[in-house]
A and B are shown apart, each in its own frame.
Chain A
Amino acid sequence: MKLLTHNLLTSHVRGVGPRGFPLRLQATEVRINPVEFNPEFVARMIPKVEWAALLEAADTLHLVEVPKGPTEGYERDEQFLRKMHHVLLEVDVLEGTLQCPESGRLFPISRGIPNMLLNDEETET
């Protein structure tokens, strides 16, 4: 699971609403996956990123050199974009869990794939 994905996911346990974001990340196996750098795509993603959640996840994984926020004119700042590319797309959580911050419910990640399924009692209607 990439950190870009983690940044877009929320818990949909019944009753938690917006307090279900961000999911608390815990990783037991992480892999760095080189991905071809595409500055246009990274630049497109920047406005969608929730920075506090990203920084929290990056911290959990002990990542260094993570930008604290978008810089002025970031679309043309290659250094910034390369750092963001690495954080968002090249860090892959293979095994771990995502935890709902409100209810504590755990969603497992195995073989890089999160399992977001819940029972009906647990889900929003």
Chain B
Amino acid sequence: MALPCTFKRYLLLMAQEHLEFRLPEIKSLLSLFGGQFASSQETYGKSPFWILSIPSEDIARNLMKRTVCAKSIFELWGHGKSPEELYSSLKNYPVEKMVPYLHSDSTYKVKIHTFNKTLTQEEKVRRIDALEFLPFEGKVNLKKPQHIFSILEDYGLDPNCIPESPHNIYFGRWIADGQRELIESYSVKKRHFIGNTSMDAGLSFIMANHGKVKENDIVFDPFVGTGGLLIASAHFGAYVYGTDIDYNTIHGLGKASRKNQKWRGPDENIRANLRQYGLEKYYLDVLVSDASKPSWRKGTYFDAIITDPPYGIRESTRRTGSQKEIPKGIEKCPESHVPVSLSYHLSDMFFDLLNFAAETLVLGGRLVYWLPVYTPEYTEEMVPWHPCLQLISNCEQKLSSHTSRRLITMEKVKKFENRDQYSHLLSDQILPYQGHNSFREKYFSGITKRVAKEEKTSQE
């Protein structure tokens, strides 16, 4: 693929977790900021070093203000498979592009990072000294330099097989770090109000990024639970709505999900969670509502729908139903106000979700949701589809030896005409996924009695 010559090349240093989720996150964010993903590398696979072309440094900085998958970004000045290759690569980098950061009035420092190997202080100093041929005119300042340059040495991914020389060496000017600190500051461990299935903070930010959430958007979660996914969107400046069929969860009543805690405190609800992080102004409303029977008037209101629907294992899948239908597992909860509960067939739920998204998303808006999968039978054809929604990405996270969940991101590309038009189409297409109706049974098969018993008690 021919790269635009005017674009500078940047080196992204990626975090080594949620590997499959990284590329869609970066692509979504670049698209959000007006860039486009352009790279000379065929695939990235498991490597933490990604070289890409970005139209401007502004776009690169904006990317880093959002990403939780990338640790840092550097303006790439040179790279090679050996020191000699690196030096000749650096000699080919236009001097006029270097000079602004090296002139005599500026201060700088050179850092060296090695991956999968430890170097002695002496070895580090030698490598930095070897770069003396670069036109550094400024003063070294180790405490508060204006410019930081980095040498990065890649010794592979296998800690049991560390090579003598690095596979790759990179040299660049450090631009910015990513937002990985959000993972700690928004950790579920510190959150006031949590549920059985509250989403890990890192993944909730990844979801908001896959959803291209931006300031002043309206983001909706139809299976909001304790609101964890809304927090990430609110952090990025979106205003948030949530609904859930469970009255107690929405109101912050009933058993607490923290070990050793008896009841949820008076301040435990979704609004309080947003308040904890100073994000209360982004709270619009939450409603007790059945996602299969929404109460929104006809129109397109949501810029993104970001959700983790119940899989029927640790939280039950329910919807309101008729007395006439034979219910599986009626729940008698007078406080929860759910008249009758049926087991909600998973395929029906995704059909409803996609149709709802197609109808209520703005054009260009995104749906981001988790699809539970029984791995031995999974094929790509099983991923639900809709004529108005384009599949953007499908990332797997393993849950157990035979189950995983996939983060599906879709974008609305076509206007929704009317509801009836899609019902017959979808029931045919969704057929491959019908097998997943028994996801719950399949999940439990092959698990030891002890584990199955633990799952049952935690569902109460």
Interface residues of A (CB under 8 A from B): 1-2, 4-5, 8-12, 18, 21, 35-36, 38, 40-41, 44, 48, 50, 89, 110-121, 123-124
Contacts and interface: CB of A to CB of B under 8 A. Distances in A.
Contact of B290 (A21, A44, A117): A117
A116 B301 contact: no
Most chain A beta carbons < 10 A, residue from B216, B247, B281, B285: B285
Contacts of A41: 216, 239
Interface string B242-258: 01010100110000000
A39 B44 CA distance: 42
A118 B295 CA distance: 11
Contact of B301 (A8, A110, A111, A118): A8
B216 A120 contact: no
Contacts of B299: 8, 48
23 contacts: A1-B285, A2-B285, A5-B284, A9-B287, A10-B296, A10-B298, A21-B297, A35-B281, A48-B301, A50-B297, A110-B251, A113-B251, A115-B287, A115-B289, A116-B295, A117-B245, A117-B320, A118-B290, A118-B339, A119-B323, A120-B321, A120-B323, A120-B325
B320 A120 contact: yes
Contact of B285 (A110, A113, A120): A113
B293 A10 contact: no
Contact of A115 (B216, B241, B281, B288): B288
Contacts of A5: 241, 284-285, 287
Contact of A118 (B247, B251, B293): B293
Given A40-B216, A48-B299, A113 B288 contact: yes
B284 A10 contact: no
B340 interface: yes
B29 interface: no
Interface in B324-352: 325, 337-340
A36 B280 CA distance: 10
A70 to B, nearest CB: 16
Contacts of A21: 297
Given A113-B250, A113-B286, A119-B339, A9 B297 contact: yes
B418 interface: no
A1 B283 CA distance: 11
B251 A117 contact: no
Given A116-B289, A120-B340, 12 more contacts: A2-B284, A5-B284, A8-B297, A8-B301, A10-B297, A18-B298, A89-B284, A113-B287, A116-B290, A117-B247, A117-B290, A118-B320
The B interface is mostly helix, strand or loop, or mixed, namely loop
Nearest to A92: B285
B320 A114 contact: no
Most buried by B among A11, A89, A115: A115
A58 to B, nearest CB: 17
B321 A9 contact: no
Contact of B322 (A38, A117, A121): A121
Nearest to A6: B285
A10 B295 contact: yes
B154 to A, nearest CB: 43
Contacts of A8: 296-297, 299, 301
Given A4-B284, A115-B247, A121-B322, A44 B216 contact: yes
B294 interface: yes
A33 B158 CA distance: 56
B319 to A, nearest CB: 9
Given A10-B297, A113-B251, A124-B293, A119 B322 contact: yes
